[in-house]
Structure 1
Amino acid sequence: MNRHLSSLDFMQSFSTKLELALQNLTMAQYPPDARREMRKFSSSEVAALLDVSEAYIRQIVLKDKGPSPETTSNGRRMYTLEQILELRLMLGEKGRKKWMNPRRVDGEECQIIAVTNFKGGSSKTSTTIHLGHYLALKGYRVLAVDLDPQASLTSLHGTLPDFDPREDETLYAAIRFSDPKPTKSLVHKTHIAGFDVICAGLDLTEFETAVALEMRKNGGTSFLLRVSQALEQVADDYDVILMDSAPSLNFLTLSSLTAATGVVIPVPAHMLDVDSTGKFLELASSYMQILSEMGTSAQWDFAKFLVTKFEANDHPQANMTALMRQVFGEDLLLNMVAKSTAVADALTWKQSLYEVQRSRFSAPKTYDRAMESINAANAEIEKLLWAAWGRE
């Protein structure tokens, strides 16, 4: 039988066509000469972020003791994120509110959190980006490391200056065994103050081959320390480092789990997702057992499961959540991230929910519910950071 369709032609043709179409879409959203900016925040939003009253914010402005906000035609005061950070640091120096400046102090180590699960579609990237932006808005210094060759987290930041995934610019350049680059050279500033990123690309897959060759030549488990050693080079510059893992349990994921001080495992409350998570835990356990027998193990401050894409009115999901609550107990976060068209819309615009003005949504209450859900889950994770630092 003569088959007429060439697999090579098919893959090459549509790979090229799709890449071009997506490039054109990205160029339309973020032209090369466009400067992507974080939205501005109203005085009520600033008060909520700083956990003070709006009247107190107005008082600071009237006394000319803080940054000067932009005043709109209808008299609203709007602040940039940089101005909010300036306010936070200024109020933190006065010491009127403990941890107004939440950045870590002497004796507190940089928290490195792996967001992982090998089930695709479990909201790993959405969890990472929303947690990262939440923490940056709260005043932390955050680095997000994209470890997924599909580079979803990278693409959410539009066109980053001086980044080409084909030009040796991913974390692989810092963790390869031959001629590694300094990790700092791979860090990119984003349009969000306090939020930096190390981008991803297809060359991350080369780590798997490199590890196999290294183990054949020298044996041992030194590859497990590659991510940890790379992140140590920049840890002093950040309070929190977030790693968005690939949907697989490979050498790179194992190395990231070894580097982590904490782990968050997003799990949609569906039978197939929960079953897949069970397989992930089983496989990870077998790997960890082997590594433990070889004298290598990962120690974490915390490891938590997070229910994502939750629909409260869906009875099968409620039942599955109850099952997870029974099995995981306190290791399942109390707050669940609701499934929302607002989140889907924001990600389509290559933005997190924190970047989009509420007025842009046709159904603002949908935005409110989604934001409430995400804030609650992120606040719970923030408490885990404080517990790891030994804060009250």
Structure 2
Amino acid sequence: MGKIIAIANQKGGVGKTTTSVNLAASLGVLEKKVLLIDADPQANASSGLGIDVENVAIGTYQILEHSNTPKEAIIPCSAPNVSVIPAHIDLVAIEIELVDKENREYMLKQALESVKDDYDYILIDCAPSLGLLTLNALTAADSVVIPIQCEYFALEGLGKLLNTIKSVQKIHNANLDIEGLLLTMFDSRLRLSNQVVEEVQKHFSDMVFKTIIQRNVKLSEAPSFGESIINFDATSRGATNYLSLAQEIIKKNSN
């Protein structure tokens, strides 16, 4: 039975999509069967794995609407053992369309029942907001990875996200767990980066992944080639970091 992990933070630019794409590819390289769901209207996770988002006929939108099944939306991609349910800009409209639906927070959860057993891990790349799309992801997920940028406002907004997770646990998904806080965009030369790491580790100790994702030029170049960092440059620091994160998650879930 697949574990569903949402990658969420309502702050933009913290490395959610980079983490979704490269964690999926790393788990795939470690011979896990992975499904990546792009639940962000910007569709960067889809294009980052070489999918032509302009020509997506069936994607996350149709699944949330229940007009198509996940199986009809799944596309293979450039990363081994990884399949994708892509997004399209039309996903922007889904929040308005679902607003009057009964059980609107459970649309994704219901849809994924049919494919949950086909994968080891299902990752959901969430939009940078706490709207209905992200709520659907958190309701469907078993756990959530929260990327935190090693910068000045890192902890701003984290309290809000943790409160949202608490209320999802209370109302929609009692089993939702925090898989871990992931420190991203770390630059060892900056005192501020080191202070953020210390601060987060002090406040959240066991909840923080041991792996820290370092700033890496190759990581920012890879998406423009439609490839994960593993395909783009397997020897880069970014690839090493994400493989380490994947191993940490596998180890944590095999206990």
Task: Read off the aligned partner of 1:382 and give its amino acid letter.
Answer: I
Q: Quick one: structure 1 residues 158 and 375, their matched pair in 2 at CA, closer, same or farther if it must change by over 3 Å?
A: closer
Cα-to-partner distance string for 1:341-361 (whole Å, 9 max, x where unaligned):
121222232222210256xxx
Counterpart-to-counterpart distance in 2, 1:203 and 1:111 = 27
Aligned equivalent of 1:189: 76
TM-score, normalising length: structure 2:
0.91
Measured after TM superposition, the shift of residue 271 of structure 1 is 2.1
2:154, 2:196 within 8 Å by CA — same for their partners in 1?
Answer: no
SS at match of 1:248: coil
Asked if 1:378 is matched to 2:246, the reply is: yes
Which of residues 76, 82, 87 is equivalent to 1:200?
A: 87
Equivalenced residues, count: 255
Counterpart-to-counterpart distance in 1, 2:36 and 2:220 = 20
1:174, 1:230 within 8 Å by CA — same for their partners in 2?
Answer: yes
Aligned equivalent of 1:288: 168
Aligned equivalent of 2:100: 213
1:257, 1:298 within 8 Å by CA — same for their partners in 2?
Answer: no
Kindly indicate whether structure 1 or structure 2 has the higher relative contact order, using CA contacts under 8 Å at least 6 residues apart: 2
Counterpart-to-counterpart distance in 2, 1:139 and 1:288 = 32
Counterpart-to-counterpart distance in 2, 1:317 and 1:192 = 31
Counterpart-to-counterpart distance in 2, 1:340 and 1:288 = 34
The structure with more strand, counted as a fraction of residues: 2
SS at match of 2:192: helix
Gaps of 5+ in 2: none
Identity rate, percent: 28
Which of residues 134, 137, 142 is equivalent to 1:256?
A: 137
SS at match of 1:351: coil
CA RMSD of aligned residues (A): 2.1
Larger radius of gyration: 1
Q: Quick one: structure 1 residues 211 and 328, their matched pair in 2 at CA, closer, same or farther if it must change by over 3 Å?
A: same
Counterpart-to-counterpart distance in 2, 1:342 and 1:307 = 18
Gaps of 5+ in 1: 1-108, 359-366, 388-392
Counterpart-to-counterpart distance in 2, 1:368 and 1:203 = 35
TM-score, normalising length: structure 1:
0.61
Counterpart-to-counterpart distance in 1, 2:217 and 2:190 = 16
Counterpart-to-counterpart distance in 1, 2:61 and 2:152 = 35
Task: Read off the aligned partner of 2:8 and give its amino acid letter.
Answer: T
Measured after TM superposition, the shift of residue 156 of structure 1 is 1.4
Alignment of 1:231-310 (within 5 A): 231-282=112-163, 284-285=164-165, 287-288=167-168, 292=170, 296-310=172-186
Which of residues 168, 172, 185 is equivalent to 2:61?
A: 172
